[in-house]
Structure 1
Amino acid sequence: MSQVVIGMPEVMRADPANVEQARAWDGDEGAYWVQHADVFDRALRAYHDAFFEAAGIGPDETVLDIGCGTGETARDAARFATNGRVVGMDLSAAMLRKARRRAVTENLSNVVFEQADVQVHPMPREVFDVAISRTGTMFFADVVAAFRNIAAALRPGGRFVQLVWQEPTRNEWFSDFREAMAAGRTMPTPPPGAPGPFALADPDRIPAVLAGSGFTDIVIRGQDAPMWFGAEADAAHRFVIGLLGWMLEDLDEGGRAGALRALRDSLTRHEQPDGVFYASATWLVKAVREA
């Protein structure tokens, strides 16, 4: 049985296993993304063209954007689907409000946004031609349930395109930030496959999960690209502290000061004339719903 999670002002039904994710994204985490939407979007800009090339959205197609956040990918999908329709879904009411405002500002009338937990949301059956998700599918507590629900919403032969992170060791931004904020501590590591940024990092797991959810013709392509974290080190430092400051909560004053210095040193080393960049690696995953 799903549980009710109350947002501001939406009421959403969430899978019981996904309630903590819903509370986080519909709470402080979602609020931070809203405040810094442009930074988060620019951070992933280097992956944009390949992602939409893989999606191949046509002018008459209907598109589902999963974990759409503040709506950049949904709005861009709407520009491709000029005669079609785009539905963006996310757990965060605050991010969806931002997405709706930006769609209005950009005069996009063919995109709508819904607050939903895709694991349990009653999807319309066989409606969408394409489902897309830019780093949004790794947070499901039950990824098979979510993918089956997405498959049911796609027409037979419909496409599902995801961008997910490769393992942490391939993502310099994660390993460097984590090392700095750890301040010499041993930080706990989530078990493989646990909901979080790297839940789908194992390329051997992805085909099994998709095949078990009603997908075929699975193609996985590795990509490397620089991620942007700010125009200069000071701005990037403020951004990362706001994002990861919770990692400092159990440190004493000296430990906290040391972690902040280590983070600033890392960011300064990665400062270039046009911003602060870190190496990153993703999997671009494409699959087709079984006929």
Structure 2
Amino acid sequence: MPDIRNDQQERAWNGYEGRHWAAHRHRYDAVNAGFNDLLLAAVRPGDRVLDVGCGTGQLTRLAAGRSGTGSALGVDLSAPMLATARAATAAEAVSNVDFLRADAQVHPFAPGAYDVVLSRFGVMFFAEPVAAFGNLTRALRPGGRLAFVCLDDWRRGDLGAALAPLATLPEPPDDATPTADDAPAGGPLSLADPAVTREVLTDAGLVDVDCARHEVAGTWGRDAADAGAFLAGWGPVRHRLAPLGPAVGERVRGALVAAMRPYAGPDGVRLRTAAWLVTARRPG
């Protein structure tokens, strides 16, 4: 069994949240794929790539293709998402990819085994970020590179407007099933402040830390009804709706559909996500 220290995230990503991402991998990739090229710019031919919080593995497979004679290892806590990642990799006949269920903040990676560490929205959930990034730093060869994207404060962007109908809802009860957003330390906005990110990465032993803000559009659905239904099934939203009665839940779902209408166009419902592209390297 893998050594898992990030217990609450492990429960969330092996429960409903992980199952939902696994079942809807194409939809989540459509939301986030606009960030792929920003990350893949860090990969060179022959690189050994480590993809942290790889989920269903789209970025892992793309990195493997870019590395050519190199390889890519995707690491995640979620068994459902990794099962989907392995199936997709087999279907696409990508041979230089492997996946590992592990807690990246404590897993004993071979020292200096990787040329580059990537992550697409997977490193915000570390319970102990300095220790976690220190572990990843040791996994990099001297001079090895780190590149990840993490959320800026989504409440100021399109997604914040789309989620406005949730603002008046009561908080879920303490005994509700946890989601990835509920961890006492680590969460989707844990690295939203670049000053915090620079401090964490510097304390973890990395240098040349740079944070560049990007806004990228992603597709949430074919039309407002489709996008609103998908958003209502997203773990954090479902978590808020679950304790409510059917009438309130239906009203909020209708409001989510209405909130998506301004973003609908011929290419579907497109919302811009604001994120930080963070790059750094191990000294040497």
- Is 1:13 aligned to residue 3 of structure 2? yes
Q: Is the 8 A contact 1:135 1:162 kept in 2?
A: yes
Structure 2 CA distance, aligned partners of 1:96 and 1:250? 30
Structure 1 CA distance, aligned partners of 2:101 and 2:243? 34
Aligned AA for 1:157? G
- Is 1:270 aligned to residue 263 of structure 2? yes
- Is 1:179 aligned to residue 164 of structure 2? yes
Give TM-score, length-normalised by structure 1: 0.89
Structure 2 CA distance, aligned partners of 1:242 and 1:186? 18
Counting only pairs closer than 5 Å after superposition, residues 137-156 of structure 1 correspond to structure 2 as 137-156=123-142
How far residue 219 of structure 1 moved from its aligned partner, in angstroms, is 1.1
> How many residues are matched?
274
Matched residue SS, 2:222: coil
- Is 1:108 aligned to residue 94 of structure 2? yes
Q: Which residue in 2 is equivalent to 1:60?
A: 46
Q: Which residue in 1 is equivalent to 2:38?
A: 50
How far residue 152 of structure 1 moved from its aligned partner, in angstroms, is 0.5
Q: Is the 8 A contact 1:170 1:280 kept in 2?
A: no
How far residue 47 of structure 1 moved from its aligned partner, in angstroms, is 1.9
Q: Which moved more, 1:261-270 or 1:28-37?
A: 261-270
Q: Which residue in 2 is equivalent to 1:250?
A: 243
How far residue 259 of structure 1 moved from its aligned partner, in angstroms, is 1.2
Task: Tell me which stretches of 4 or more aligned residues in structure 1 moved more than 4 Å.
Answer: 190-193
How far residue 272 of structure 1 moved from its aligned partner, in angstroms, is 0.9
How far residue 288 of structure 1 moved from its aligned partner, in angstroms, is 0.4
Q: Is the 8 A contact 2:229 2:257 kept in 1?
A: no
Structure 1 CA distance, aligned partners of 2:184 and 2:193? 8
Counting only pairs closer than 5 Å after superposition, residues 1-291 of structure 1 correspond to structure 2 as 11-15=1-5, 18-53=6-41, 55=42, 57-173=43-159, 175-182=160-167, 184-185=168-169, 194-243=185-234, 244-291=237-284
Give TM-score, length-normalised by structure 2: 0.91
Q: Is the 8 A contact 2:154 2:273 kept in 1?
A: no
Structure 1 CA distance, aligned partners of 2:100 and 2:88? 15
Structure 2 CA distance, aligned partners of 1:221 and 1:101? 34
Note the aligned Cα RMSD (angstroms).
1.9
How far residue 234 of structure 1 moved from its aligned partner, in angstroms, is 2.0
How far residue 98 of structure 1 moved from its aligned partner, in angstroms, is 1.1
How far residue 168 of structure 1 moved from its aligned partner, in angstroms, is 2.8
Q: Which moved more, 1:228-237 or 1:80-89?
A: 228-237
Aligned AA for 2:238? G
How far residue 256 of structure 1 moved from its aligned partner, in angstroms, is 2.2
